[in-house]
Amino acid sequence: MELIQEVPDLSAYLASDEAIDHHHPLVRDTAARLAGQVADSYAYAHAAFEFVRDGIAHSADSGDPRVTWRASDVLAKGTGICHAKAHALTALLRAEDIPTALCYQRLEYDGAGGSCLHGLVAVRFGGAWHRQDCRGNKEGVDARFSLDGERLAFLPDEERGERDYPTLYAAPHAGVLRVLQEAPDRSHLWEALPGAL
């Protein structure tokens, strides 16, 4: 699949906004701590990925009802769904000047045709974009950081109507962000999240 930049200017994929608040002190401190433990930007990206994948609980897996959406809040509370975790990873990577995009998949979740929108990121190394999925591993899910072939949590099944969206967004999709901001808890969030773009 060919990935398509929403914005041609790479600086857009380094920007800070209300969700990707990489100028926040907690994001900066976390990035500095991780960067101090590694030798280069590739190793930093790998370390940041594993920090978010393993250190921030996926709220559906852990049963946490709280909804987070701003990167600094995800780091502070240690919880979030895939979209929130993608915002946190994007902020950590952009804090260290690694161009990072947000991207999405349409997945079936109930075996009866119900779909959900899954959030992940893409990092730019060596002149190419590489998608990464930091949602968190569990039984049947083994996502890993890779610049040599994708190791995502889910592979869409087109026969079931699942798909990868090729667009690389510089900011969170407006529909997803609005639902995250307005949901009082995770049960309401599940009902309101879009099933497709």
Helices (runs of H) and strands (runs of E) counted in the chain: 7, 8
For residue 197, tell me if it sits in a domain.
no
The CATH code of the domain that includes 13 is 3.10.620.30
> What is d(CA 80, CA 58) in angstroms, rounded to the nearest whole number?
5
Domains of the chain: total: 1
Q: pTM of the predicted model, to two decimals?
A: 0.97
For 192, half-sphere exposure in the C-beta direction (CA atoms, 13 angstrom radius) is 16
> What is d(CA 125, CA 55) in angstroms, rounded to the nearest whole number?
24
For residue 153, tell me if it sits in a domain.
yes
**pLDDT, tens digit, for every residue of 81-100?**
999 999 999 999 999 999 99
**pLDDT, tens digit, for every residue of 169-185?**
999 999 999 999 999 99
For residue 149, tell me if it sits in a domain.
yes
Domain hosting 163: range is 4-192
**In which residue are the tokens 């959030």 written?**
119
For residue 57, tell me if it sits in a domain.
yes
For residue 76, tell me if it sits in a domain.
yes
